[in-house]
Structure 1
Amino acid sequence: MDPQRESPRKNNTEHLIADRQKGIGVCGWILVSFSFLLVLMTFPISIWTCIKVIREYERAVVFRLGRILSKKARGPGLIFILPCTDTFVKVDLRTVTCTIPPQEILMKDAITTQVDGLVYYRIHSAVSAVANITDVHSATFLLAQTTLRNILGTQTLAQLLAGREDIVRSIQAVLDSATEQWGIKVVQVEIKDVRIPVAMQRAMAAEAEAAREAKAKVVAADGEMNASKALKRASVVLAESPAGLQLRYLQTLTTLAAENNSTIVFPLPINILVSLGQKKRGGIETVLH
């Protein structure tokens, strides 16, 4: 633990111990003795006012004539209270959920946003929570609001949207350091929602849409380039193999015939017509000779 964080709590504890070491004085002991004798004289009726039940999640800070009776809080279970000289304060040790209402914050880049959050904390020292501050829950709530505004005011909107975890850790560290002397342990901090102005939302949406369109154009251009390269390779292969070109031609005709019931004009290949023409000319020349 940081010595600077530990020093306030240490000073407060030493102050309480020093007060207890001074004692309650002669008059105090007389009052305590009188109260104890009164309990004995009215026993067992007085037992109902002297015995208090402290639940498992509670602790009791006992004051005797205005001074804290012991270094540690008492409980859980049964505790004994003198009716005239002792008073006690119950402290709940369960985790408390503190809801921070929406805070209008001017970000570092001059954008106004509304941010709300949650703070989970618990009391780990009942004596410090009672002796060092008037209302520990109200003070923690106000401190959480102020810390949220101060830290987010040093961030840009992009940093807030992209780095919530780092911001939450910073807020938790500041709160934990400030509330240590109150006996508070900050368990967790969460940013619930970030509300951006409508004009900024439209601008961000237009920017995102433009980025998506640019990416789609790049992908389409890459696809067309790949398709053209594939067609070029196919044309080279077909040019080197005329038989392959004829097979591709026949396959195309088969596909067309399978899809629709239609009449297909099937022309003869050019090479067949050329060969027939050559044979006809050869026959005529033979007759002439």
Structure 2
Amino acid sequence: MNLYFYPSRVVRAMAYDVSDHEAVLLLRFGSFVRQLKPGRHRFWRGGLSLLRIDTRAQTVVVQGQEVLSGDQVQLKLTATAEIAVVDSVKLWRAAQDAGALLYAALQQALRDRAAACGAEEFLRQKAGHGEALRASVADRASALGIEVRSYDVRDVMLPADLKRSFASALQQRQLAQAELEKSRAETASLRSLANAAKLLRDNPELLQLRWLQTLETLGAEKAGDLVLDFGKLDLLRAPR
């Protein structure tokens, strides 16, 4: 995170360029005069100096924060924030090391958020913490002349025993889901068989037709003659 001003003493009549992506403050004998607009500037007075700072977006990584969740589970968190300087005059006047103050605010916001949730809830809502985290540091950052554009949890590391517990619970849920699907399939199969049995019971001629179709299939698959004694085939007799 680069929130430092780069000072330079002004030499009379020398040209100084200001880029679109930076803020440049003009001081005279240490007192603020004005902020320079982008472009080329020349100065003829003595006692002048410039302070430059980059106003482009920056990424701040809040790395490896070991915190306790609301249910006293130790979590190791990493979060990333996107920031930008929006008021360089306020930044210059507010603090000697604004970067350190902002980083401390980002740390505290992450710790407070984790402490307000149980470990499982924090993991489940990982993608949804961003707006709450950003809002919790917005006022502090604004007082420093900085805008926090986003602040999201990137990584959550659990203790080894808790990892095993979560893995075991996930495996049990998957097994239970598989058993449920198997049970549903078996129930559907039994229901289909029951419907077929009822259909054949109510319409015995369908069984006769199915039997003849089976014989036709067997005759087509095997060479040779198929001899039937129709006198002994009760299935082919018309129902009474």
- Fold shared per TM-score above 0.5: yes
- Give matches, 1:138-153, under 5 Å: 138-153=100-115
> Residue 59 of structure 1 aligns with which residue?
23
Distance in 2 separating the partners of 1:272 and 1:66:
116
Quick one: structure 1 residues 252 and 187, their matched pair in 2 at CA, closer, same or farther if it must change by over 3 Å? Answer: same
> Residue 287 of structure 1 aligns with which residue?
none
**What RMSD in Å do the two structures reach over aligned CA positions?**
2.9
Number of aligned residues? 226
Distance in 2 separating the partners of 1:274 and 1:165:
67
Distance in 1 separating the partners of 2:71 and 2:42:
60
Q: Does 1:77 align with 2:44?
A: no
> Residue 47 of structure 1 aligns with which residue?
13
> Residue 48 of structure 2 aligns with which residue?
86
> Residue 121 of structure 1 aligns with which residue?
83
TM-score by length of 1: 0.68
How far does residue 255 in structure 1 lie from its aligned partner after superposition?
4.3
Alignment partner of 1:211 out of 173, 181, 184: 173
Whose helix proportion is higher, 1 or 2?
A: 1
TM-score by length of 2: 0.81
Quick one: structure 1 residues 90 and 228, their matched pair in 2 at CA, closer, same or farther if it must change by over 3 Å? Answer: same
Quick one: structure 1 residues 241 and 264, their matched pair in 2 at CA, closer, same or farther if it must change by over 3 Å? Answer: farther
Distance in 2 separating the partners of 1:274 and 1:245:
8
Quick one: structure 1 residues 112 and 269, their matched pair in 2 at CA, closer, same or farther if it must change by over 3 Å? Answer: farther
| Aligned partner letter, 1:58 | E
How far does residue 219 in structure 1 lie from its aligned partner after superposition?
2.7
Unaligned ranges ≥5, structure 2: 1-10
Distance in 2 separating the partners of 1:127 and 1:105:
35
Residues 81 and 87, structure 1, Cα contact 8 Å, conserved in 2: no
Distance in 2 separating the partners of 1:265 and 1:146:
88
Alignment partner of 1:197 out of 132, 136, 159: 159
- Give matches, 1:1-289, under 5 Å: 46-48=12-14, 51-70=15-34, 73-81=35-43, 84-256=46-218, 268=229, 271-272=232-233
Residues 58 and 75, structure 1, Cα contact 8 Å, conserved in 2: no
Residues 76 and 156, structure 2, Cα contact 8 Å, conserved in 1: yes
Quick one: structure 1 residues 93 and 215, their matched pair in 2 at CA, closer, same or farther if it must change by over 3 Å? Answer: same
Whose strand proportion is higher, 1 or 2?
A: 2
Distance in 1 separating the partners of 2:133 and 2:88:
24
SS at structure 2 position matched to 1:69: strand
SS at structure 1 position matched to 2:116: coil
Distance in 2 separating the partners of 1:145 and 1:226:
55
